[in-house]
Chain A
Amino acid sequence: MEGTLAIVGFGLSTIGPGTATGLIFAAYINGVARQPEARSILQPIAFLGFALAEALALFGLVLAFVL
């Protein structure tokens, strides 16, 4: 086995954003299930939240390369 600790760190850093993305889409699905006509309003909000949370995981990836 080869590799650096930075990669392990990246693995750990994905836990938070992974959970966050799950929560965002859970809330989105809940919202659409309760009120299907609200889909078009909720969709951009859900994807905005997804992209903001996902970026945090990618910061971890960048740091894994930098360190």
Chain B
Amino acid sequence: MLAKAESGFEPPSAADFEFQPIFGNSIYFTKPVFMVFLSVLVISVFFITSARKAAIVPSRMQFAGESVYGFVRKTIGEEVIGPEFMRFMPFLFSLFTFVLVNNLFGIFPLLQFPTMSRIGFPISITICTYLVYHFVSVKHKGLLPYLKEICFMPGIPKPVYLILTPVEIATYFITRPLTLAMRLFANMFAGHLLLLIFTLGGEYLLHGGLIFKFMSIFSFSFAIGLTFFEFGIQCLQAYIFTLLSALYIAGALADEH
């Protein structure tokens, strides 16, 4: 997408999120798909090498790997889920690292596209969380008591059920997965769009007169500043996605109030 001086500025749009296939005409292998494979490779190699020569006095690699794991384990696993958290650590940890690395691709030089800004990827990891928390609920409470708890929350006057039951059903089966996927997708989409606007805007200003060329400095410096802001948002979103998944699992494990 090249903005030309005479044709006017073309603001970035949803079309900038679509990629041509890498090999021939196969629509299944585009840049985001390639980045998902890359992220799995990066995560596996990093954590395998950091854990392979584990020692009492940790090397730098081991320390880095362990501090990421320690963070997820302490702030998400132990504090949210409680005593039974160890069962869910593999799930939560892979969720966190997967989302984090894929988000960070958004500001990684040369790649510079957050995988999660294509709605398919957030949806597929949300399906994992969705299945896990319903499965845990059914296993922990049994199918009928679980449905009864959703439909008829104990300790509430009867007429209120008229409003509460549809709301609760919608919360568990529609709103939770929808917001979980949408939150991650929308954040990455908006962040990438924001960076595009300032870099393309700066590039467009370069085609103008001397004053406009000077103005493009501001646009580019905004883009650089926002890149750091995006870094914060990307880490935060990975944290929040995992935290909410853990909260849903904790809700599934909690006994009736």
State the A residues within 8 Å of B (CB).
44, 47-48, 51-52, 54-55, 58-59, 61-62, 65
Contacts and interface: CB of A to CB of B under 8 A. Distances in A.
Best-buried of B183, B185, B193, B243 by chain A (most CB within 10 Å):
B183
Contacts of B179: 55
B14 A55 contact: no
Contacts of B183: 51-52, 55, 58
Contact of A65 (B13, B240, B243): B13
Given A48-B243, A65-B13, A58 B236 contact: no
Given A47-B236, A65-B13, A58 B243 contact: no
Nearest to A62: B186
Interface size classification for chain B: 10 to 19
B190 interface: yes
Given A44-B75, A61-B189, A65-B13, A55 B182 contact: yes
B186 A55 contact: yes
A54 B187 CA distance: 9
Contacts of B187: 51, 54-55, 58
